[in-house]
Each structure stands twice: as structure tokens, then as C-alpha cells.
Amino acid sequence: VHGESAWHAHQGQRVVEYQQALQTVSDPLLGWTTVHGRQYYVRQFRNMKGTIPLDAMDPQALIDYTGVVGQLLAKGHARTSGAS
């Protein structure tokens, strides 16, 4: 789609919407964000399971980590169509 109807205020959103339209199964972590005024799209790098060594983290790193995990969980719940 070209022209004014294809314009997006956020370029990450543009990439995500077109990828979702073209792919039969979309990456569940596909999304977009803005960091320090720069627009990005985000995706799963590799489909690998991993663990975070929580017992090896210092207290501030653990606080930072849980804050990020909480934000991601909240965003995931907000994007679902049903009641959580």
C-alpha cells in the first residue's frame, strides 16, 4: 500500500503491522517501542528457552529485572481480548 493511507506515525508499528499481515503465524513477541525519541520494532531473536540466575543478581539488578518483567506482563494482559 502506498500513499497517504500507508503513512504511520510510528515506523516500528508500520513494520509490525506489515509483518503480521504477511506471516501466517506471527512472532508472539513482535511489537514496537520508542526509546529516547527513536522508534524501534522488537521481536524474538531466537526461539530458545533460557533462564535468568536470579540468585546471582544484586538487589538493584533484581529490582530492575522484575520491573521490566512486570511491564511486559501487564502489556501482554492489556493486549488480550478477554478478561484476565
* Distance between CA atoms of residues 21 and 14, nearest Å: 11
What pLDDT, on a 0 to 100 scale, did the predictor assign at position 58?
94
> How long a stretch of residues is the chain?
84
- Torsion, Cα 82 76 18 39, to 10 degrees, reads 140
Q: What is the pTM of this model?
A: 0.46
User: b or e along 43-79 (b: 16 or more beta carbons within 10 Å of the residue's beta carbon)?
Assistant: eeeeeeeeeeeeeeeeeeeeeeeeeeeeeeeeeeeee
What pLDDT, on a 0 to 100 scale, did the predictor assign at position 82?
59
Q: Where are the domains of the chain?
A: 1-47, 51-84
Residue 76 has pLDDT above 70, yes or no: yes
Residue 48 has pLDDT above 80, yes or no: no
